[in-house]
Structure 1
Amino acid sequence: MDMGIDGRTVIVTGASGGLGRDIARGFGAEGADVVLTYHRARPDAERIAKEIGERAIVVPHDLADPGAADAVLRAALDWTGRVDVLVNNAVVWGSTDPGQELSFDQVPDEQWTAMLRANIEGALRLSRAVAPVLRERRWGRLVHISSSIATDGMAGGEYYGAAKAALHGFSRSVAFSLGRHGDILSNVVQPGLTRTDTNAEITGAAAEQYSSLAALGRLLTAAEVAGPVVYLGSAANTGITGQVIEVSGGT
């Protein structure tokens, strides 16, 4: 299938690890110019960019920095003169002191509010930054990466789940507001627990439990989640918008 994204410019946030690596690789394999953002792991992002080739660049991006979104947009426009697709994949996890389990009402205010703000505002800022470019071109795709925690819940995931659920409401309304200005689509991909190259410890411990809940009887790999993300962000997707697409192996 011709995805129709050869020569289009795609921004993939959090592309230095986890799902982001395979999402960036997927767009690169389709001939897109890929902007890979990273927070701290520049060498990892550069390694993926080298795999993709000359049609990839790496750009720093801190979700908590109010000026980071405009800097990413400028870097993309300076490079190719266009932005066609944004994949909001980067996340900031909440944390507590090592070995100390706190209930959601015991987590210090500065900890949970910072995690909420970075995850919600970081994605919204970058979406706001690219929106005028998409309107001008009358074409674009937004794909926001969520988590099954947003709908299934998980003890300890209260604030992360809240942040991801916020993306669902945002994307749904953006689909209407931007859809009036051309072929501009906005969707959410909601993975379940997924095997990536950075979470072997977590998936190893929980694989049996989660696999038993899946129709496929196993966890998906990052590449299997990346495929639907690339499709939703491509020209091959002409009618799916405002949706939350679960990609979990049937959990």
Structure 2
Amino acid sequence: MAIMRNFEELIAEGESVPVEGWDFSWFAGRATEQRPSWGYARLIGERMARAAAGLDVQTGGGEVLATIPQPPPLLAATESWEPNLAVARRNLAPLGASVHHVGNEDALPFDDGTFDLVVSRHPVVTRFDEVARVLAPGGSYLSQQVGMGSMHELTAAMIGEFADNEARSPERIAGEAEAAGLEVVDLRPEALRAEFFDVGAVVVFLRKVIWTVPEFSVARYRPQLLALHERIEAEGPFTATTRRFLIEARKP
């Protein structure tokens, strides 16, 4: 019964944690994830400092964009999830950025050739036709994306084994950029280690990173969560592989 009581406490905590925005500081001591070697936040900070007009697509709560040390004269961001909008506007106000409510697959509400730099961290989808349209000639798109098979082990622990979505392969995404008339100048994939130290952290992660297990809820996946809890208790941290890739593409 001690395991059940501990499990229930962890589950209740996991359900109570706010998941708005894209701040992962809550996971300190509860879960870890290796970071890609290229340092995305540093890269966009350097690029934004040299840009005249920058756009961050699917900014989340604006947490990463907010770290840039010097904003360009024109800075804008888009976000699709309404609870994130207020968070993003608060985080990006000091940079003078405008934040626009735009669906992930919608057209961007900007004129042709407005930006010389478009960035995006972990976009759900990328409308490369729209990225190409709003980029000025010679402008660049720089993005860190979630690769095919990321967190496969965690998803499989919830839904069973499955085939990874090949649409998320770096090569497929690069092909989409080129089909929109962009020139891919950098494409770097990496496989990274993630660890979860308790099932409460798993619940928060699945509530926050909603594409890992679509339509996740504790009620729906309680048996799988209990099995995962017992596995962590017996064997130690649950490990999974995250896959990331950096893509840079330029408009001729």
Q: Please tell me the TM-score bracket, short chain as reference.
A: 0.3 to 0.5
Structure that is richer in helix per residue: 1
Structure that is richer in strand per residue: 2
Give TM-score, length-normalised by structure 1: 0.47
Give TM-score, length-normalised by structure 2: 0.47
| Max Rg structure | 2
- Identify the structure with bigger relative contact order (alpha carbons < 8 Å, sequence gap 6+): 2
